[in-house]
Chains A and B, each alone.
Chain A
Amino acid sequence: MPEKHQPSNDDSILKKPMTRRDVLRLAGTGGLGLLLGGGAIGTLLTTENKRKTKAAGSVSTEEDSIPFYGAHQAGIITPAQNFICFAAFDVTASGAPSLKKLFQAWTAAAAAMAAGRPVGEESGNGNLPPTDTGESAGLSPSRLTITFGAGPSLFDDRFGLAAKKPPTFKELPAFNGDQLEPEWCGGDIGVQVCADDMQVAFHAVRNLARIARGKAVLRWVQEGFQRTNQADPSGSTPRNLLGFKDGTANPQVANEKEMNRIVWAQSGDGAPWMAGGSYMAVRRIRMRIEVWDRSTLKDQEETFGRYRSSGAPLGAKNEFDPVDLNAADESGKPYIPRDSHVALARGDGSVQILRRSYSYSGGMDIKTGQLDAGLLFISYQRDLFKQFVPLQQKLAKSDRLNEYILHVGSAAFACFPGAAQGGYIGDTLF
C-alpha cells in the first residue's frame, strides 16, 4: 500500500524516505565489484516496496538539493545519482597554509553549488571574468554531491602532515593481474562529484579545478553513468556493461549502527581527525567488451553465476532468490560454479563494503580500435586493509570474470568527516 512521501523535519537523508529506485541506485552498477548477491538487497527491497516510488521528473528544487554541511560528507551513503565526474588532483602549492586556504575556498564553492547557487559573488564588472563559469545557471542542483578525500601522498613531508597519517592508510597493494596505467592512478586529493545531470557535475569539477589553479593541478578525470530514472521509471536493478543485472549485498545505509561498523571511521581507529570520515577505494576496471560479446550465453552466465535475462542465481527462479552455493543438480554438480563472480564475491558474507560504482565509456582505445569501457568501481569502508583489500585479493586470484576485465586504474583516499556550517572540509586535519 503506497504511503505518502513524508516531509522531512531533518536535513539528514537518513530520515528521508527512500524510494525503491534509490535503494537500487545506491546499490550501484557494479557487479564487477564486490559482494554481489541476492540476500541483502532482497531484504532492502521488501521494506522499500511499501513506499511510493517517486514519479520521474517530478522533483522540486528543494528535493533536488542535498545539504553539503553535516556530520558526514554527502555522496557516501547518499543514494547514487545518475552521473559521476571523478577528479584526482596533485597539490602544487607548498606548505600547510596554502593547502588549508584551498580547502576553505573549495568548501565555500561546493556548498554553494550543492544548493544550486553560482560560485562566488558576481561583481557585474564588465572588465572582469565572471566568478562562476556559468553553464549551470538556471539548472536545478540535480542532487549534486561533492566528496573530498586525501590520498596517501598528501601525508609526505610537503605539508607537515606525516604524523597525522592514519596508521592503516596507504596505497593499495598490487593485486594479481593488475595492468595499472600511471595516468589512471593515485592523486594527492580525490574529489567525487555526483549529480543527476552531467552538465551540473562537470560544472562542479571545472570550477573546483579553476579555484585550484596555482595550488593544485588535475591528475586524472573520469566520467561515469548508470541508467537514469527517465530511462527506467520502475527502478529495476541496473545492468552493467556486460549486460547483467547488478543487484548487490550493499549494507543498509539507514542503519546507523551498521554504517558505523562498515563505513565510518571511528575515533578509536588510530586517527581521531578521521572520525566520521570514510576510506575510499577507486578502481578503473576496463571490460574486454569485444571478447565478452563473442562468449556464449552459457559461458557468460557461468561467469557471473546468474541468468542474464532474469538475474536469478543459477539453479534458482527469481532475481532475489537467495544465492545457494550448495545447490546442485542430480549429478551433484553445483549450479553456481565455485569460481563464478557471485560465489567468490559473496564468500561467507563476513566482510562488507559500501559500493558506489558507475559505468564508464572512455571512447575508443586508440591502440586497438576497440571500445574503452568498463566500470569506475568505488567503495567506501572503515578500513581499506580489513575490507576492500582482502576481498579484492580473493577476486583477483580466482574470479572467472578476470578473463573479461582489466584493472587499469587505482587510487585510495581518506575522505574527511563532514564540515559543520562555518567550518571547512579538512578542518579536523589542518
Chain B
Amino acid sequence: MKYNVILPTGILAASLLFSGCGQQKNQDADAASAKPAPPAAAETKTAPAADFSASVEQYRTFAVEQCDLFVKETEKFTAAVKAGKLEEAKKLYAPARAYYERIEPVAEALGDLDPNIDARVNDVDAADWRGFHRIEKALWEDKTTAGTEGFADQLLKDAQLLRAKIETIDLDASLMVTGAVELLNEVSSSKVTGEEELYSHTDLYDFAANVEGAQKIYEILKPELAKKDAELEKEIETRFAALQKELNAFKKGDGYVDYTALKQDEIRKLSQNLDALAEPLSNMGKILGV
C-alpha cells in the first residue's frame, strides 16, 4: 500500500481536475523527452504507437461502474455500523471493499483519498487514522460498533468524493499498464501475507478483487498485446488461469475462507503463482512502444 502524502507533481494535480477527454497525449512521455542528454537511449520516450482512446474509455466505464457499486455497498455497510448491527456490518465489510480493491490504483492517483479510505493502523499517525480498517478494528477486535459512527459518516463521504473525482481522472494507456501491475503488487505486499485485514482476516476477498482488477485491464488491452507479442499475451492468460484456479480452492459461499485457515504451503503457493503472473504482466508496457 502506498501513501504519497505529498502529491507527486503540480501537473498531475491539475490534470486530474482539468482533463481533456479523448486527448491521447501522454504528458509524462513529453516530460521525459525534454530531459537534457539522457545517458541511456531507453530514457527517451515517444508517444504511444497505437491509439488507445477506445481502450481507455472502456476502462473508464469499468472504473465508474465499480465506483458506483462501491458507494452503494459502502452506504449499506456504514448504515449497518451506525444502526449498531454488528453482525450485519461484519458481513457487509469485505464485499463492499472489493469494489474499491478492483480499481485501487485509480483511487491512489487521487491523492489523499486512498489513505482516508484504506489506511492500515500504522500507515498514518494515530490521530489521522480513519476509513475501513479503523472500523474493522472496532468490529472484530473491540466487538462493537459503538464510537465508530463518525468514522462511518466520514467513510461514506470519502467514497462519494471518490465517485465524484473519478469522472475527471486523466486516464491513459500507460496508467492502465502500470495500474495492472500495481494491483498485483498490492496483493504481494499485504494481502498474501495477511497483513491487510489484520482483524477480519478477509484478505482473500481483497486478493481476488485486486487480481480481477488487473485481469480487467489485461482483457481490455489484450487485442493490442496479441498483435505486438502473441506469446506474451498467451503466457499472461495462462498464468491468470493458474492463479484463479489456485484461488478457487479457497472459495466459501459467496466469498472466501478466513486467511487464518490457510496453511503455510498454501500461502507460499499463492504468493509464487502471483509472482509468476506479475512478472510477464509487467512487460505489457510493450504495447506502448519505446
Comparing B24-32, B62-70, B76-84, the segment that makes contact with chain A is B24-32
A369 touches B271 (CB 8 A): yes
Asked whether A298 and B28 contact (CB < 8 A) given A177-B122, A291-B185, A370-B271, the answer is yes
- Chain A window 311-331, contacts with chain B (Cβ cutoff 8 Å), 1 for yes, 0 for no: 010110100000000000111
Bound Cα distance A294, B125 (Å): 30
Asked whether any CB of chain B lies closer than 8 Å to the CB of A10, the reply is no
Q: Which residues of B contact A335 (CB under 8 A)?
A: 35
Q: Which residues of A contact B11 (CB under 8 A)?
A: 331-333
A368 touches B193 (CB 8 A): yes
**A282-323 interface with B by 8 A CB criterion:** 288, 290-291, 293-299, 301, 307, 309-310, 312, 314-315, 317
- Chain B window 154-190, contacts with chain A (Cβ cutoff 8 Å), 1 for yes, 0 for no: 0000000000000000000000001001000100110
B5 touches A297 (CB 8 A): no
Number of interface residues, chain A, beta carbon within 8 A: 43
**B230-286 interface with A by 8 A CB criterion:** 264, 267-268, 271-272, 275, 278-279, 281-282, 285
B2 touches A398 (CB 8 A): no
B125 touches A176 (CB 8 A): yes
A368 touches B271 (CB 8 A): yes
**B92-146 interface with A by 8 A CB criterion:** 122-125
Interface size class of B (residues with CB under 8 A): 35 or more
Asked whether any CB of chain A lies closer than 8 Å to the CB of B6, the reply is yes
Asked whether any CB of chain B lies closer than 8 Å to the CB of A174, the reply is yes
Closest to A290 in B: B275
**A266-296 interface with B by 8 A CB criterion:** 288, 290-291, 293-296
Asked whether A329 and B122 contact (CB < 8 A) given A338-B6, A339-B4, A368-B193, the answer is no
Asked whether A331 and B38 contact (CB < 8 A) given A291-B185, A368-B192, the answer is no
Bound Cα distance A293, B281 (Å): 12
A333 touches B36 (CB 8 A): no
Q: Which residues of A contact B35 (CB under 8 A)?
A: 314-315, 329, 335
Could you pull out 13 A-B pairs where Cβ atoms are within 8 angstroms?
A174-B122, A288-B185, A290-B275, A291-B185, A294-B185, A333-B9, A338-B8, A339-B6, A368-B188, A369-B271, A398-B4, A402-B3, A403-B185
- Which 3 A-B pairs rank lowest in CB-CB distance, beginning with the nearest? A294-B282, A368-B271, A403-B2
Q: A177-B123, A329-B35, A370-B271 are in contact. List 10 more A-B contacts (CB 8 A).
A: A178-B122, A179-B122, A288-B189, A312-B39, A333-B11, A339-B8, A369-B272, A369-B275, A370-B188, A398-B4
